[in-house]
Amino acid sequence: MKNMYLIYSFFLLLLSSALFSQNYEIYVCDAGNFNNPPWQILRYDSSGQNGTVYIDEELAWPQDIVFLEGKNETLISNLNTGRITRYNATTGDYIDNFATGLGGPTRMKIRNDTLFVCQWNAPGATPEHVAMFDLDGNSLGNFTTSGVVFGIGIDWDGDGNLYVSSYGQPNSPPFVRKFNTQGISQGDFITNADLAGPTNIWFDPSDNGDLLVVDYNAGIIKRFDSNGDFMSNFITGLSQPEGVAFLTNGNILIGNGGTGTIKLYTSDGTFISNIITSGNPSLIQPNCVIIREISPVSVSDPIEQVDYIFPSIGVEFFVKEKMILKIQSYEIYNASGGLVLKNDFSKSRIWDASNVAEGMYLIRSKMKDGKILLQKVMVKK
């Protein structure tokens, strides 16, 4: 019964911002003392306050956070153990290992329902390829046909080419390498002449082809053009920067490990404030920042949970006969809070879900008497 309540509460938080005032939480990966604990994942409200420990189990130099909203799961990559650990996204409780045997997994990103994972130092003589997994944790092999030693940053350009940054070591200079859509190396896009120790990379959302690179060792975020040529310093004066997240208004959050803070900047690189301060509540060395959107249900809505849709698992969903004349309209949201379908109600079949991905969805129906009914369903093909 407790688990059902947690699941229901979780899905109430995932309604779309089109109807409810939007909010978000900030999640920070704390590398602690790097190769030594304490290690933790911290959670804050949108103002950077009310920090709490979200996860502190089964961590070993954590590197990145990915939320699988449709599964209500959180994935954490762990450099020291070669594992990606899986947790309940609502409670932060450890579930199991999503993947094992990796060579120091660092950055993770989801693209086309596939999790791409950078590796720092692959086991044995195996090169540090970018590995792939489906969202159930099944290995899909390597995407790249050649390795990127000390890989710690990943992004795609507008044409689908993959870019991976190598932090570098004394005997291995840093670089950013380009791979085509088949994972074949196209050579170094940026060489060590312009880099000291890159971590996160991302393409400018303005779609002009510029690549932004967080240079940890230099304390600078650098801008490069679509040919890989250095253009300018985007943000300077940082200390051990690592971890970047973007707000919907264009503002940028940056982890600043040297001061144990999360800094907030405008989209043009102007400093606003330290939105999360050192030691809040126990932050030591941020190396990853994630924004997770939530949309709380409006307290003014008279909401009821009623099982009025059947089946609860399947592809086609219908309204029970006794409720047909009571419904005025309905909306369907995915587990990320995105609106999937909005319609006036006129037929018993409320949704044919054959064209959407499998996973949990929330059906929100407005009744003719003003009440709101909520029911979660699982799309399973």
Residues in the chain, how many? 381
pLDDT value at residue 348: 81
pTM for this prediction = 0.74
User: Who's near 248: CB < 8 A, 6+ residues apart?
Assistant: 22
Helix H or strand E encompassing 7: helix 2-12
Q: Which residue has the higher pLDDT, 16 or 256?
A: 256
CATH topology assigned to domain 303-379: Immunoglobulin-like (2.60.40)
CATH, domain range 23-294: 2.120.10.30
Amino acid found at 67: F
pLDDT in tens, 204-238: 877 678 999 999 999 999 999 999 999 999 999 99
Cβ atoms of 137 and 99 within 8 Å: the answer is yes
Residue 13's pLDDT is what? 42
- Reported as a single tens digit per residue, the pLDDT across 174-202 is 999 999 999 999 999 999 999 999 999 99
Report the range of poorest mean pLDDT among 32-46, 58-72, 345-359.
Answer: 345-359
Residue 15 banded pLDDT, cuts 50, 70, 90: very low
For the chain, helix (H) and strand (E) counts, in that order, are: 1, 33
Domain boundaries, the chain: 23-294, 303-379
- Residue with the bigger pLDDT between 336 and 30: it is 30
**What does the pLDDT read at residue 303?**
60
